[in-house]
Amino acid sequence: MKIRMLMALCLCWLASVAQAGDFKVGVVDTERILRESVPAQRAEKKIEREFSGRDAEIKRVAKLVKEMQAALEKDTLNDANHRNKERELSSLNVNLQKMQREFREDLNLRKNEELAVVLDKANKAVQTIAEAEKFDLILQEAVYRNPRIDITDKVLKYLAVDRPDGK
């Protein structure tokens, strides 16, 4: 409750300072940066290339599992062969689930690594824009943002340019 009151007071103070014209505020849509920025799109393509081989292998094994299940459902085998095929199918199914779980874990890890790089670049871009245009405050994750103070397009344009210093 105390935090809410403090936040409300801070917002009132910010509003009064902003009305006085002494305070310049900007807002950035982080989700849009992570969806639309050039570094984010490059990272996505890089991850797709890295994981395409494993994805194809998982799809191949899944197809094999379906084919084995279909063959078992026809049940033209004797009891001993049928049990052996069921064990083989069960083993293949366990292997497939393990492959899928490891794939998801590795994919999420790589996505998080690349996301951290994109966010670092975006934060540097925001800081550069804020300093160049003399912003006093840049907010992220706002519930409402007036398009007049939204600088997301500026950040996207900044990130679209390859810079030799990596910023």
Looking at residue 53, its pLDDT comes to: 96
Give the separation between CA 67 and CA 69, rounded to whole angstroms: 5
pLDDT in tens, 101-138: 999 999 999 999 999 999 999 999 999 999 999 999 99
Q: Report CA-CA distances (Å) from 89 to 7, 12, 58, 112, 132.
A: 59, 66, 15, 34, 63
Check whether 156 has a pLDDT greater than 50.
Answer: yes
Backbone angles phi, psi at 137, to 5 degrees: -155, 135
Q: Are 139 and 27 in contact (CB under 8 A)?
A: yes
Q: Are 37 and 159 in contact (CB under 8 A)?
A: yes
Tokens of 4: 């809410």
pTM above 0.75, yes or no: no
Q: Where are the domains of the chain?
A: 19-160
Place of tokens 């393509």: 45
**Residues sharing a CB contact under 8 Å with residue 27, sequence separation 6 or more, in sequence order:** 138, 139, 140, 142, 145, 146, 149, 150, 151, 152
Check whether 6 has a pLDDT greater than 50.
Answer: no
Average pLDDT for 62-68: 92
Tokens of 7: 């936040």
- Split at pLDDT 50, 70, 90, the class of 10 is low
Which CATH number is associated with domain 19-160? 3.30.910.20
Looking at residue 118, its pLDDT comes to: 96
pLDDT in tens, 74-92: 766 677 777 888 899 999 9
- Split at pLDDT 50, 70, 90, the class of 43 is very high
Q: Report CA-CA distances (Å) from 160 to 19, 27, 101, 165.
A: 33, 19, 35, 14
- Split at pLDDT 50, 70, 90, the class of 29 is very high
End-to-end CA distance of the chain: 41
Lowest mean pLDDT among 10-19, 54-63, 144-153: 10-19
Neighbouring-strand partners of residue 139: 27
